[in-house]
Amino acid sequence: MVPSSNITMETELPELFRRQSVATGHRYTFHSARATLKSVTKEELLAMVDKAADCAVAVSDADVDVIAYACLVAVMAQGPNAHVGSEEIIREAAAGNGMPADVTSSAGALVRTLEAIGARNVAMVAPYMKPLTKMVGEYIEGAGFTVVDATSLEVSDNLAVGCLDPRNLPAIARDLRHSEADALILSACVQMPSLAAVQAVEDELGLPVITAATATTFEILQALGHQPAISNAGLLLEGSLVATPAATR
């Protein structure tokens, strides 16, 4: 489930699962439902949240195994720990449609993945205007972490966020106070492209690097019972940071 203006999750996630397929032989299909969002403002984000149940019903018609709610800031804009309630709404909607599925969200996946890798202090890159970046930082801190530094790129148009060049991310990450961090959130947004930079930044800084997209992918694989085996996307998806159950599907 993605915002209507999202052009990144439907490119980064299929690429990640393609790499997983090459490594493991597992076959994955990818389906999406869209909810209207053009500008990343709190008002539009909250309006998008109201469409979550309808989107869950629509995508569950495809008899999917896992539903991922891929708009991190829309969930976080609802207040502390909002991913729990959002995921439950989606779970209930799919089950009520007669098509139950496991559910994750990019917001929930991000904080749970930080917990899973043992991170306590994080540095973060976000594309949002400063007030929204501050809100995301407060949400992460409300989940028990410390945001030691954050960079806000101040792009409000969601299509423009999707056109940001990931080749700029290594320099941006370099300027963060990363020496105080246990992990780096290279993209606290499912729309900001980052996959092309994850491995390079992790190699250079010597820190675990996660993004909203890689954390979401990690939780989808966990729900499927598949051990991550994805190349060139950081230690998390290589399978070196967190053990996951043996394949069950």
Which H or E run includes 102? strand 102-105
Q: Which own/partner contact pairs does 74-78 have at CB distance under 8 Å and 24+ positions apart?
A: 74/3, 74/37, 74/45, 74/46, 74/48, 74/49, 75/49, 75/105, 75/106, 75/107, 75/108, 76/107, 76/135, 76/136, 76/139, 77/42, 77/45, 77/46, 77/49, 77/132, 77/135, 78/46, 78/49
Among residues 71, 90, 136, 161, the one annotated as catalytic is 71
d(CA 138, CA 29): 35
Neighbouring-strand partners of residue 157: 39
Respond yes or no: is residue 71 known to be catalytic.
Answer: yes
Among residues 59, 82, 176, 189, the one annotated as catalytic is 189
| 126: three-class secondary structure by DSSP | strand
For 41-98, strand residue ranges (E) read 66-69
Q: Any idea what DSSP says for residue 68?
A: E
Q: Which residues contact 145 (CB under 8 A, 6 or more apart)?
A: 111, 114, 119, 120, 121, 122
Q: Which residues are catalytic?
A: 71, 189
